[in-house]
Amino acid sequence: MLKHSIKVVVVVVAAVTVMTATAQDLYGALARIDETGIINVGHRESSVPFAYINDEQQPEGYSIDLCMRVVEAVEARLGKEVEVNFVPVNPQTRIPLIANSTIDIECGSTTNNLTRQQQVDYSHTTFITGTKLLVRADSGIQEVEDLDGKVVALAQGTTNERVIKAMIEEMGFDTRVINVSDHAEGFLALETDRVDAYSTDHILLYGLIATARDPEAYDVVGRFLSYDPYALMVGRDDSEFRLLVNTTLSELFRSGEILEIYNTWFDPLGVPPTDLLEAAFAIQALPE
């Protein structure tokens, strides 16, 4: 009996040794990519300018650029070329698709928060935004305090929805909330005078104004009502791959190359990097 057990242990140990040896100590996403030769990159389709579909039907944007740097690092690490397979995701699918390993990395406009970290993991912070209000320029609304007696549209399930609803409740305002399902619909509600304000991450509001027919008619107003750090999303319990992603980002932050990439995408929107974001880049520029 004992002899038999020892035999089993020996066989198991041998098998494990062989497996790890052939997999070159790779596990998680890197092992998957090495095995298939394909990296599955999840991307948003309309998060301007982070990840969106361009006129040639290809995903592009700030987050996509960062992800392509990660792909280069993966190729260097594995010592071979890998094929990039783009997978479109939305706020409802991005977390399940990371959790079930359909995608290896998500490049979009995803806020890093602790509840989400129970399901997924994040890279360094790549952008910092927060909740603001989009209003018609002639509405007279300057701050969230001016929303008493007004109608505001909020996108279901966003962090911004929670923040604004909580503030309205706290201040005891008589503000009506209209639920919309995405940013385009929220802007449509504002455009058709159904609501007085639409609220989401400030950078996305600038993106909405940029695509409007009459950009001068709208204004992004107020102070930041929440803190939303964006990051690339990766699978949980996969430090090896996350380290590779973070090493790539730290290099970009350290060399200052990040600002070139930033300007490529944010200059057209007229949004320079905030002091807070520059500080975040500096702090996350970890040494080798």
Partner 1 sequence: MNYNWNWQILTETPYLGWLWSGLQLTLLVSSVAWVIAFILGSLIGVLRTLKQPVVRALATAYIEIFRSVPLLVHLFIWYFVLPEVLPRNAGRWIKRDLPYPEYWTATVCLGFYTASRVAEQVRSGIETIPNGILDAARALSLSQRQLYRFVLLPIGYRVIVPPLTSEVLTIFKNSSLALTIGVLELTAQSRQIENYTFQGFEAFTAATVLYIVITLIVVWLMSYIERWTRIPGYLSQETS
In the complex, which residues of this chain contact partner 1 (CB under 8 A)?
A: 91-92, 95-96, 99-101, 115-116, 118-119, 151, 156-158, 162, 178-181, 188, 192-194, 235-237
| Distance (Å, whole) CA 154 – CA 161 | 5
Which two three-digit tokens encode residue 273?
A: 């990097």
> Helix or strand or coil: residue 106?
strand
Cβ closest to partner 1, residue 5 vs residue 115 = 115
| Distance (Å, whole) CA 51 – CA 35 | 27
* DSSP H helix total and E strand total for the chain: 10, 13
Cβ closest to partner 1, residue 194 vs residue 254 = 194
186: left (phi over 0), alpha (psi -120 to 50) or beta: alpha
Helix (H) or strand (E) holding 206: helix 202-211
Place of tokens 């982070």: 50
| Closest approach of partner 1 to the CB of residue 42, in Å | 15
| Closest approach of partner 1 to the CB of residue 32, in Å | 12
| Closest approach of partner 1 to the CB of residue 94, in Å | 10
| Closest approach of partner 1 to the CB of residue 237, in Å | 7
Cβ closest to partner 1, residue 73 vs residue 95 = 95
| Closest approach of partner 1 to the CB of residue 181, in Å | 6
Q: Are 287 and 88 in contact (CB under 8 A)?
A: no
Cβ closest to partner 1, residue 57 vs residue 92 = 92
Sign, CA dihedral 32-34-38-40, equals: positive
Q: Are 111 and 230 in contact (CB under 8 A)?
A: yes
Cβ closest to partner 1, residue 153 vs residue 225 = 153
| Closest approach of partner 1 to the CB of residue 280, in Å | 24
Cβ closest to partner 1, residue 13 vs residue 99 = 99
